[in-house]
Structures are given as structure tokens and as C-alpha cells.
Amino acid sequence: MNKKKILFVIPYMHEGGAQRALSNIQTHMPDYIEIDTLVNSDINRVYSNSGRVFSLNIEKKARTSSVFFQFGVFIKRVKKIKELKRSNNYNACISFVDSANIANVISAICERDTQTKTIISIRTSITQSAMNILQYRYFVKPIAKILYKRADMIVSVSEELKTELIESLGIKEDRITAIPNGFDVDEILKLSSEKIDSPICDKIGTSKVVFTAGRLNIAKNQWHLIRAFSYVKRTLPDAMLVIAGTGELEEYLKKLAINLGIDQSVVFAGFESNVYKYMRRSDVFVLPSGFEGFPNALGEALCAGVPCIATDFRTGARELLAPERLSDNTVIERFTECTYGIISPVCSGKMYTGTEPFEMEELELAKAILYLLDNKEANIKYREKSKERRKNLDIQKAVSEWIRLIEE
């Protein structure tokens, strides 16, 4: 088998769905593929890499979100990609996350004689991000619309995202393919057997547990889940909500729980590299996101065998829980039992202090949670459905698709 050399580009390898997905891909690649990875910083790395890691040694500063700082990082990254390509003769340069994708394409344009295939991986909805994040609206989406067509191949993480990119960025269908994230099911089941730290375990006790995991940010809509959970508490006063993850909205979410009078029933577990031990202890997993690319946490919960609820954010939720509805554009307005889990309508994204009336969508989410917590038969049914779904989510299937793309 001829050796292949690949350069992966990603901002960092700590907390994040794209980072976890890349780690899974790299650590399951066959030995004949040599891997290098370029990151902004190698400090606080959580996820494993294969091969060599090159770092731009970017120090995290107070104003990392400033335009000048980001432009400086961009220039440094483009120069380093060009340097690595010249000295290593890679078969492909594969980038994850939009900032890395833009640098990858620019470096390819600058190096016109390179034989390195330029592959960019799009992990989230650019259209939805542009609606909610100014940086995406005025910078990332306009540039992506111009540059992404110059990549040799674009990889989306779901069929729904692929369709969106064709429609919103004008990508030709033969230049884009969908490769959903894969999961190491055996490893997830092994890690799920680890014990939960005693302080959290003691607090949970024998309660019925609702679990969610993800960055505490605008995309994930955890405040809607907290509000829905406050409604659940009216029927099941002993229920507990466990939230794993960190992010810029952490203090807001904690204050919201206090304002709703449920702070003693909401556990903020912080960043946890092994979320599977919480999933195994949970009675239901809920993903309340407003938008996603491909929801890793939802896929992992299915692999862990937990009954799952997700809002109908479309790029990933239906693909995982309701593949029969992929071609159905009907908006879900009430919580709906699907093949592999329950889908509930997407909440508004409006942020509350805690005293406002419930949204209809929040009430539907609460009803879905109550249905699985209070209905033993339904809970068992969807626990078995999760186990059935994980058979098609194995990492080797995704790795085979990536290898095919590299070798074409």
C-alpha cells in the first residue's frame, strides 16, 4: 500500500465537537497514512492526535475576538500551511472549522503549482450562524461564498447541511459530499462504565436525570432547556438536570436557574472529556440546539444507549433520529415520536430572565421530557432504538469515506 501524507488544520484540539470528531478520525486511520496536524496552540490539548503536531504558538489574549488579532492569526496560519506543504509534499490538506477552511483555500490559491488536494470540512450551518453571529454575517459567509468554490472538495457533516451549502453558497453538487461523524462505539461503552465523581453523584442520588452536553453558547439554546425543565419540576419535583460543558453563557445560565428557583436541581458539571458516564446514568438525553452542523453529543448519546430528544434544528437531528423525514420539509410544531427518538419544535432563541411566560416550543420540550421520564414503556422502547441506531454510526464507516476521498 502506497504511503499517503495528510495535513490537518484546526484551530485547537481542546473542547469542541469538531476537535472530538477529528481526533476520532485520526486515531482510526490506517498505518499507511502519515498524519500531521497544524493548530493555533497546543496548550491544554484534550483530544488525541496521530502523528506530528505543529503549533503556531498563539497565546490566548483578552482580545482574541478582535479583528486585528484574528487577521494576524490568519496571516500566520496561511504562511505556515504554505511552508508545510512545500517541505512535506502532502497528498491532501484537510481543514476543520471555517477560519481554518478560509486559510486552507487561500494557501492553495497562493501555491498554484502544488499537487496537494485542498479539502475543507464544514461543521456547522453557515446560514444559521450568519443569522445569530455578526462575525459570520459580515465576514465568514461572504468570504465563504467566494472562496469555498475554489476547494477541490467540500465535506459537510450531514446531508441536510450539504443541501443548505449548495443552495446558500452556490456550491456545485459534484464538489461536495456528506460524511457524518462516526463514533467508537466500543470505547464509548467502556468509558460509560466509569464512576461519576462523588459530589455530583451524591447530588443526583436516585433522581430521574435529564442530561445535556455541549458548549454553553448561543447555538445550543440551553436556557430554553432550563426553562422547560422548570416546568418538568412541577410534575416531577425530584428530577435533576445535568449540564456538561463550559462557555460564555455559563453565568447567565446559572443565574437563570436561580431566578427560576431550580438551582438546587440543576448541576453544572463543567467540561468533561468523558460525558458517557453521565449519559449512562441518565434517563433521557436532550439536545435543545437552535442550529448545528452534525450534533456529536446526540450521536454519542445514541451510541451510549440513552433515550434521546432533540429540537428540529434540521441539519443533523432528523438525520439521526428521523431519517424517514429527511425529504419532508414540514415544520414540526408538536413533539413527535420518530424512528430513533423524539423531535420537538425549535425554540425561538430569545433569552429570558426567568419570569416570562413559557413559549409553546418550551412547553412541547417539557412534555417530551415528561413523556420519557414518566412512561417506562416509552423509555425502554427508545433505549432499544438508540442501541439499534448506533449500529450505523461506527467510526470505521466514516474513516473509509475519508480514505476514499483522499485517494480519488
- Enter the C-alpha cell of residue 310: 432533540
311 and 216 within one domain: yes
156 and 207 within one domain: no
334 and 248 within one domain: yes
pLDDT in tens, 288-332: 999 887 899 999 999 999 999 999 987 889 999 999 887 788 889
34 and 77 within one domain: yes
What secondary structure does DSSP assign to 350-380, as a single string?
----S-SPPPHHHHHHHHHHHHHHH-HHHHH
93 and 118 within one domain: yes
Pick from 111, 106, 105: which is nearest to 89 by CA?
Answer: 111
- The larger pLDDT score, comparing residue 20 to residue 326, is at 20
**pLDDT band, very low/low/confident/very high, at 65 (cuts 50, 70, 90):** low
E strand or H helix at 8, and its extent? Answer: strand 4-9
304 and 159 within one domain: no
Pick from 382, 376, 224: which is nearest to 289 by CA?
Answer: 224
Res. 113: pLDDT tops 60: no
13 and 30 within one domain: yes
The predicted model gives 89-114 an average pLDDT of 90
pTM: 0.86
Question: pLDDT value at position 62?
Answer: 47
pLDDT in tens, 195-231: 888 788 887 878 999 999 999 999 899 999 999 999 9
Q: Give the integer Cα–Cα distance in Å for 137 and 132.
A: 8
Average predicted confidence (pLDDT) for the chain? 91
Res. 401: pLDDT tops 90: yes
208 and 69 within one domain: no
Pick from 291, 319, 267: which is nearest to 217 by CA?
Answer: 291
Q: Give the integer Cα–Cα distance in Å for 198 and 305.
A: 23
Range of the structural domain that residue 55 is part of: 4-182+394-407
For the chain, give the percent of residues with pLDDT over 70: 97
pLDDT in tens, 344-393: 999 999 999 988 999 999 999 999 999 999 999 999 999 999 999 999 99
